[in-house]
Amino acid sequence: MLGALSGALAVMIGAFGAHWLKSIMTPEELANFKTASEYHFIHSIMLVFVGYYANRKQKSKSLVVSGYAFLLGIVLFSFSLYAYAILAGWWFTIVTPIGGLCLIIGWGALAFEAISSRF
């Protein structure tokens, strides 16, 4: 459910940026907004995948970690870049690397689940 809602939000925010903000943003701000939008959308799809996969088998800690890490990563990474692009406050980017780390943890936990489920 959260992945689907996040995906819908990613489409709405992406459309907002493409149609209304494009004319008022600098190329650098637009690039930051586009990066945020792409990561938001990709990881929303991963939230859907992790939720589907978790419901098809016994709950595993690695899937729970992956889901929460992706969700937190979207909030910290994508939304800090959205804010930076729109509001131009450099201090928004303080949390961006933490969000990126959360996304990496999400992928790592998913890889761990894939490896451990084979044995």
The residue extents of the domains of the chain are 2-116
pLDDT tens profile 6-32? 999 999 998 888 888 878 888 888 888
pLDDT at 24: 85
* pLDDT-derived band at 87, boundaries 50, 70, 90: confident
Cβ-proximal residues to 117 (8 Å cutoff; 6+ apart), any chain:
57, 60
Q: What is the mean pLDDT of residues 55-75?
A: 90
Residue position matching structure tokens 């098809």: 56
| pLDDT of res. 17 | 81
Question: What is the predicted pLDDT for the residue at 119?
Answer: 66
- Is 15 in contact with 79 (CB distance < 8 Å)? no
So what's the pLDDT on residue 36? 94
Please give the structure tokens belonging to residue 44: 């929303």
